[in-house]
Amino acid sequence: MSSLSYLAAATRAVAEEMRRDDRVWALGEDLGRGGVFGQYRGLVDEFGDARIADTPISEATIMGAAVGAALVGTRPIVEMRFADFALCAVDEMVNQAAKARFMFGGQARVPLVIRQPSGMWRSSAAQHSQSLEAWYTHIPGLVVAAPATPADNLGLLKAAVRCDDPVIYIEHKDLWALEGEVPDDGEDVLVPLGRARLARAGDDITVVTWSKMVGVAEQAAELAAAQGIAMEVIDLRTLWPWDQEAVFGSVVKTGRLLVTHEAVQVGGFGAEVAATVAEDLSDSLKAPVRRLGAPRTPISYAKPLEDQLRITPERIAAVAAEMLGD
């Protein structure tokens, strides 16, 4: 194993997949200069501007071109720069990419990866900070992934590129600098889509989350441990399909479930996990299922106001303690 940042792990994943398969290519704004966050840095030097393609400033054009290219046999990686900007290309994602396989009776597929840097980051304000993963889990035909670690941003992105269906690939902007162990160069290690990761073992309460909130939940588990609470943290990694078996197994053991995410709590994907567990495991629960997400309000530029919306380790630990008291 070696150490790599979350950002560098993704760069490595793209490079390895492009070397492995000459049908893989990337397109988006500013890729020639390395991407807005530097996640494509150096790739144009190796692969040229035909495979690391700069595009006009038009998300609908970018997505439409990628969908067409995928339908005729290539495997595009689409860079949306910010998850918020991808809203300009929702028709191409939702009405074209997601439905083509079904509408053509399986005769056509759309193997593309749509990278959407997401979440609150450095006072980026209301139009550059949203977490919109729940929108895409609602759409049949889309796979939705949200890696939390450098190792997963390597292995999960490689698996997404090889998937024959469109993958909404959500990378949290606040994780770019996160360092962690990854397989050594030359190891072709994939993280299967649809399989969760046990981030921390515990017997008292199950916390299910994804993306940046996994690290926050792990910090909360440390705080809870000081109170004698053993918190189990499940990193979903893929939101659709999500690993019901892993979640159910943990909840049967602990009898308690808290689902937490940075996204707005109203209509968030946590509600799907919570409802499924409440419906299927009611006899195993020792306390009502709880959710913890952001309030339904735009994200402010001002850091003190932005911080009011954040889910912190202290908030997670406090809810866990309440649930142990039920």
Residues marked active site are found at: 128
CA distance 313 to 8: 27
The pairing of strands 290-294 and 257-264 is parallel
Distances (CA, A) of 170 to 65, 166, 211, 216: 21, 13, 8, 17
Place of tokens 């162990």: 181
C-beta of residue 5 within 8 angstroms of C-beta of residue 179: yes
Please name which of 130, 21, 17 lies closest in space to residue 83, comparing C-alpha atoms. 130
- Rg value, the chain, Cα: 20
- The single-letter DSSP state of residue 302 is S
What's the CA angle centered on 241, arms 239 and 247, to 5 degrees? 70
How far apart CA 149 and CA 132 sit, in angstroms, is 19
- Dist. CA 25–CA 30, nearest whole Å: 15
Helix ranges (DSSP H) in 86-234: 90, 100-103, 133-137, 150-162, 213-225
The vertex-308 CA angle with 297 and 150, nearest 5°, equals 95
- φ, ψ at 233 (rounded to 5°): -110, 120
Phi, psi of 174 (to 5 degrees): -75, -5
What phi and psi values does residue 257 have, to the nearest 5 degrees?
-135, 130
